[in-house]
Amino acid sequence: MKTLLVEKDDTAVRAHVTDVPEDRLPEGEVTVAVRHSTLNYKDGLCLTGGGGLVRTYPHVPGIDFAGVVESSTDPRWSPGDEVILTGWRVGESRWGGYAEKARVRADWLVRLPPGLTLRQSMAVGTAGLTAMLAILALEAHGLEPGQGPVLVTGASGGVGSVAVALLSAAGHEVAAVTGRPETEGYLRDLGATRIVPRADLSEVSPRPLESETWAGGIDAVGGAMLARVLGQMRYRAAVAAVGLAGGADLPATVIPFLLRGVSLLGIDSVMAPIPEREAAWARIARDLPKDKFDAMTRPATLADLPDLGRAILKGQVQGRVVVDL
């Protein structure tokens, strides 16, 4: 099976396309013929040996894949079923989706929802699923369209792009924070009505509270930007913390929580329970405007991934990449 294999020697970590016999796949109940995979920030780390995520080499990255069940020893899955896998540390601590076949636990798979193709599901991928989980968390907290602008940070990245499109489709006014002014047209096409330059939010404010601006927030950046956003939330509004593209620290005070009743909602897609994933995928299939997929997505092959992995770590990938196997 054609595979993107990452190998490590004394001097470097190298990724290359090669043939790997199928009997080297890990143990698991379900073998899937992978049709598409994608590229997330974490894949960039796994492709380059960064972040200490991969402990054992040789390794096959790819934290997401979509494909067709080839064989299953678990009665829940049959040959021909169309399935999606995201998370569960697949592609990090065990072999993932950058190969023509993958073998995983039956408990980890989600059925492709009606209304979405396998390829579209990978245009969404972990990044988009996470954006949807964040929106569901904000809605559970009380966010409704008409309450005011919802801020999305890291907006031209994977999580951000899908968040902008989904929030706009749900009827929200969306403000998009980007450090790349050239993506303004792209973000407005996805549904952003306001563009906020990254520089406006990249320094910690000397004042813990600024004017009440945002009815909700989805933050893919962390660091000073998240601290800043917390101080700009409207009374009782919530921010969903999704990522750390700008840093893992949080140089904030508790003042926004105490004086404005602001909430910080943590979002994890990796170990999220299956019923939550199914609900999120169903909403994605229903709400994500299919005409936005083309603008949001670019195709790639396994051979393109080493370069793309380096690019996503530098914040240079716009939107989502779909890897065709």
What does the binding site for ligand NDP look like in residue numbers (CB under 6 A)? 40-42, 126-127, 130, 154-160, 178-180, 183, 198, 220-221, 225, 242-246, 267-270, 312, 315, 317
Evaluate whether 131 touches 162 at the Cβ level (below 8 Å).
yes
Token code pair at residue 214: 């945002």
Residue 307, CA distances (Å) to 259, 296, 313 in order: 46, 19, 10
Q: Which is nearer to ligand NDP, 28 or 222 (CB)?
A: 222
Task: Provide, rounded to whole angstroms, the least separation between the CB of residue 78 and ligand NDP.
Answer: 30
Q: Which is nearer to ligand NDP, 12 or 248 (CB)?
A: 248
Task: Provide, rounded to whole angstroms, the least separation between the CB of residue 218 and ligand NDP.
Answer: 10
Residue 276, CA distances (Å) to 64, 129, 132, 160, 320 in order: 17, 10, 10, 20, 23
Token code pair at residue 35: 């049709």
Task: Provide, rounded to whole angstroms, the least separation between the CB of residue 295 and ligand NDP.
Answer: 15
Evaluate whether 39 touches 305 at the Cβ level (below 8 Å).
yes
Q: Which is nearer to ligand NDP, 38 or 72 (CB)?
A: 38
Burial (0-12, 13-18, 19+ Cβ within 10 Å), 24: middle
d(CA 325, CA 211): 49
Closest residue to ligand NDP using C-beta atoms: 157
Task: Provide, rounded to whole angstroms, the least separation between the CB of residue 158 and ligand NDP.
Answer: 3
Task: Provide, rounded to whole angstroms, the least separation between the CB of residue 290 and ligand NDP.
Answer: 20
d(CA 186, CA 176): 11
For residue 99, the 8-state DSSP code is B
Q: Which residue has the tokens 């979002």?
A: 267
For the chain, how big is the Rg over CA atoms in Å?
A: 20
Q: Which is nearer to ligand NDP, 147 or 193 (CB)?
A: 193
Token code pair at residue 43: 């894949």
| Cα torsion 204, 210, 211, 213: sign | positive
Q: Which is nearer to ligand NDP, 25 or 229 (CB)?
A: 229
Task: Provide, rounded to whole angstroms, the least separation between the CB of residue 205 and ligand NDP.
Answer: 16
Token code pair at residue 88: 């569960």
d(CA 6, CA 14): 5
Task: Provide, rounded to whole angstroms, the least separation between the CB of residue 259 and ligand NDP.
Answer: 26
Q: Which is nearer to ligand NDP, 158 or 256 (CB)?
A: 158
Q: Which is nearer to ligand NDP, 32 or 133 (CB)?
A: 133
